[in-house]
Amino acid sequence: AGSLYDFMAFRRRPRASGSSDVVEAVLRAKNDKRVLELLLPYAAEDGRLKEIVRRLEENLFGTGNNKIDKKEIVRILEEILPEESD
Protein backbone atom coordinates (compact mmCIF):
# COMPACT_ATOMS: atom_id res chain seq x y z
CA ALA A 1 0.00 0.00 0.00
CA GLY A 2 1.27 3.44 -0.89
CA SER A 3 1.57 6.25 1.57
CA LEU A 4 0.14 9.71 1.32
CA TYR A 5 3.66 10.86 0.49
CA ASP A 6 3.68 8.64 -2.59
CA PHE A 7 0.44 10.23 -3.71
CA MET A 8 1.67 13.77 -3.11
CA ALA A 9 5.23 13.29 -4.39
CA PHE A 10 4.38 14.60 -7.83
CA ARG A 11 2.23 17.45 -6.61
CA ARG A 12 3.70 20.75 -7.67
CA ARG A 13 5.29 22.68 -4.85
CA PRO A 14 3.59 26.02 -4.27
CA ARG A 15 5.59 29.10 -5.09
CA ALA A 16 6.95 30.63 -1.94
CA SER A 17 8.32 34.09 -1.53
CA GLY A 18 11.05 32.51 0.56
CA SER A 19 11.63 30.23 3.45
CA SER A 20 10.04 32.50 6.05
CA ASP A 21 6.41 31.81 5.02
CA VAL A 22 6.73 28.04 5.34
CA VAL A 23 8.86 28.29 8.48
CA GLU A 24 6.30 30.57 10.14
CA ALA A 25 3.48 28.21 9.18
CA VAL A 26 5.33 25.19 10.63
CA LEU A 27 5.98 27.03 13.87
CA ARG A 28 2.30 28.06 14.11
CA ALA A 29 0.96 24.61 13.23
CA LYS A 30 -1.21 23.26 16.03
CA ASN A 31 -1.14 19.58 15.06
CA ASP A 32 0.67 16.89 13.10
CA LYS A 33 -1.86 17.03 10.28
CA ARG A 34 -1.05 20.66 9.51
CA VAL A 35 2.71 20.04 9.70
CA LEU A 36 2.30 17.12 7.29
CA GLU A 37 0.33 19.29 4.85
CA LEU A 38 3.09 21.89 4.92
CA LEU A 39 5.95 19.43 4.46
CA LEU A 40 4.54 17.18 1.73
CA PRO A 41 5.53 19.46 -1.17
CA TYR A 42 9.14 19.56 0.10
CA ALA A 43 9.65 15.94 1.22
CA ALA A 44 11.09 14.77 -2.10
CA GLU A 45 13.86 17.38 -1.85
CA ASP A 46 15.41 16.15 1.37
CA GLY A 47 15.70 12.72 2.95
CA ARG A 48 15.37 14.16 6.45
CA LEU A 49 12.03 15.75 5.58
CA LYS A 50 10.92 12.52 3.94
CA GLU A 51 11.62 10.69 7.21
CA ILE A 52 9.71 13.31 9.21
CA VAL A 53 6.78 12.94 6.80
CA ARG A 54 6.89 9.17 7.33
CA ARG A 55 6.77 9.65 11.12
CA LEU A 56 3.91 12.15 10.81
CA GLU A 57 1.95 9.68 8.65
CA GLU A 58 2.59 6.97 11.23
CA ASN A 59 1.24 9.27 13.96
CA LEU A 60 -1.85 10.20 11.95
CA PHE A 61 -2.72 7.01 10.11
CA GLY A 62 -1.07 4.29 12.18
CA THR A 63 -0.29 3.59 15.78
CA GLY A 64 2.73 5.86 15.99
CA ASN A 65 3.44 8.22 18.83
CA ASN A 66 6.53 9.86 17.35
CA LYS A 67 7.86 13.13 18.75
CA ILE A 68 8.14 15.76 16.02
CA ASP A 69 10.71 18.49 16.60
CA LYS A 70 9.57 21.66 14.85
CA LYS A 71 12.95 23.30 15.43
CA GLU A 72 14.61 20.49 13.46
CA ILE A 73 12.08 20.98 10.65
CA VAL A 74 12.79 24.71 10.61
CA ARG A 75 16.57 24.11 10.36
CA ILE A 76 16.07 21.76 7.43
CA LEU A 77 13.69 24.11 5.63
CA GLU A 78 16.07 27.02 6.05
CA GLU A 79 18.82 24.91 4.47
CA ILE A 80 16.85 23.81 1.41
CA LEU A 81 14.66 26.84 0.68
CA PRO A 82 15.88 30.06 -0.86
CA GLU A 83 15.96 33.04 1.43
CA GLU A 84 13.41 35.77 0.93
CA SER A 85 14.58 38.64 -1.24
CA ASP A 86 13.63 42.19 -0.35
Query: Residue 13: how many CB atoms within 10 A of its CB?
Result: 13
- Report the predicted TM-score, pTM, of the whole model to 2 decimal places: 0.74
Q: Provide the residue-wise pLDDT of the chain in tens; the chain has 86 residues.
A: 456 655 555 444 444 455 689 999 999 999 999 999 999 999 999 999 999 999 999 999 999 899 999 999 999 999 998 875 55
Q: DSSP letters along 15-84, please? A: P-SSHHHHHHHHHH--SHHHHHHHHGGGGGG-HHHHHHHHHHHHHHHSS------HHHHHHHHHHHSPPP
